[in-house]
Amino acid sequence: MLDQIHLNFNPQSLMVLNVVLGLVMFGVALDLKVEDFRRVFEQPRAIGVGLLGQLVLLPAVTWVLVWLWKPEPSIALGMFLVAACPGGNISNFITHIARGNTSLSVSMTAVVSLAAVVLTPWNFSFWAGLLPETAQALKSVHVDFWQVFQAVLLLLLLPLTLGMIISARSQRLVERIRQPFRIFSLVAFAAFVVLALLNNWKHFISSLELVFVIVLVHNGLAFLTGYTAARIGGLKPADRRAVTIEVGIQNSGLGLVLIFNFFGGKGGMAIIAAWWGVWHILAGLTLARFWSQDPNGAEPEPKVAD
């Protein structure tokens, strides 16, 4: 049973993972500006619908899915944690490929990343605490809101703040390092996930069929939740694409860090978060490729002056 499995992960590896996630978030912050937060007031409906889908509807849909499916508690906890995480840093890139509203995507990333400092630990504790099995699993590892809050504060807010300060004060430097830094941080994180899976290959293979189906359904519902919320909210097609991708792409890297920091690499949680990190990129790029072939209603390309 996955509930009894704890993945191989030493303290040195955990420190490296913390640093890598910090670098990833720092790279995200290099693309953020104060104007991205101002768009909350310029596009209040689009931002509001996106935040509703990301911070409220996705955790609620996850609770319904867990209640119906009744997976092992460790798998359920992994699903709740992934749903509580902010959007993944690759969502802006995927939105651009999909010809969605990239500026809306960036603004959502900025706002949700800051909100996640409080809402990630709260959402996880609240929704997991509503089911007896997951509530008991939380108590067994003695994890509370404030522990997770402090970790998210350091892992998200600190690198985001430093990155935005550098972006505001030295734009020339940012232009030089942004792309190489983004590539380096993403490759480093991907390599880390692959090595973690290889080191625990027998556990991963033994549970792959179950985890694959759960992540496939869960991630599909995440994209559907974002699209449905945007459609009901009356957003333009380009905005719908941005919201759909933001809700469907989650920062599973943050989830992995929290799992190894507070849950001792609990098998079901870690495998769900790790596979989600692989699958949501494949699913997101597939959706983006489909949308890129359909320009109807997509965000128009910027005009270039003669």
pLDDT digits (tens, 9 = 90+) for 260-300: 777 765 667 888 888 888 888 889 989 999 998 876 655 55
**Residue 302 included in any domain:** no
Tell me how far apart the terminal alpha carbons of the chain are, to the nearest angstrom. Answer: 65
Contact of 190 with 53, CB cutoff 8 Å: no
Cα–Cα distance for residue pair 49/115, rounded to 1 Å: 15
Phi/psi at 300 (5° precision)? -65, 150
- Determine, yes or no, domain membership for 88: yes
In a domain, 90, yes or no: yes
Predicted pLDDT at 39: 67
pLDDT at 197: 66
Domain that holds residue 61: 5-291
Number of domains observed in the structure of the chain: 1
The CA distance from 98 to 116, in Å, is: 25
What pLDDT sits at residue 176? 81
What pLDDT digit, counting tens, does each position of 175-226 carry?
Answer: 787 777 777 777 776 776 676 666 666 666 766 678 889 999 999 999 999 9
Q: Which amino acid is at 283?
A: A
Instruction: Classify residue 300: in a domain, yes or no.
Output: no
Model confidence at 36: pLDDT above 50 = yes
| Structural domain contains residue 114 | yes
Instruction: With respect to residue 304, please indicate whether it lies within any of the assigned structural domains.
Output: no
Question: Is 257 within the bounds of a domain?
Answer: yes
**DSSP output for 105-146:** HHHHHHHHHHHHHHHHHHHHHHHHTTSHHHHHHHHHTT--HH
The mean of the pLDDT values for the chain is 80
Q: Using the predicted structure, report yes or no on whether residue 301 has a pLDDT greater than 60.
A: no
Q: Residue 117: which pLDDT band, with cuts at 50, 70 and 90?
A: confident
Say if residues 83 and 62 touch (Cβ distance below 8 Å).
Answer: yes
pLDDT at 276: 87
pLDDT value for 226: 96
Reply yes or no on whether the pLDDT at 144 is more than 70: no
Looking at residue 11, what is its pLDDT? 52
CATH label of the domain that carries residue 82: 1.20.1530.20
- Assessment of whether the complete model's pTM goes beyond 0.85: no
Q: Is the pLDDT of residue 256 over 50?
A: yes
Q: Is 296 within the bounds of a domain?
A: no
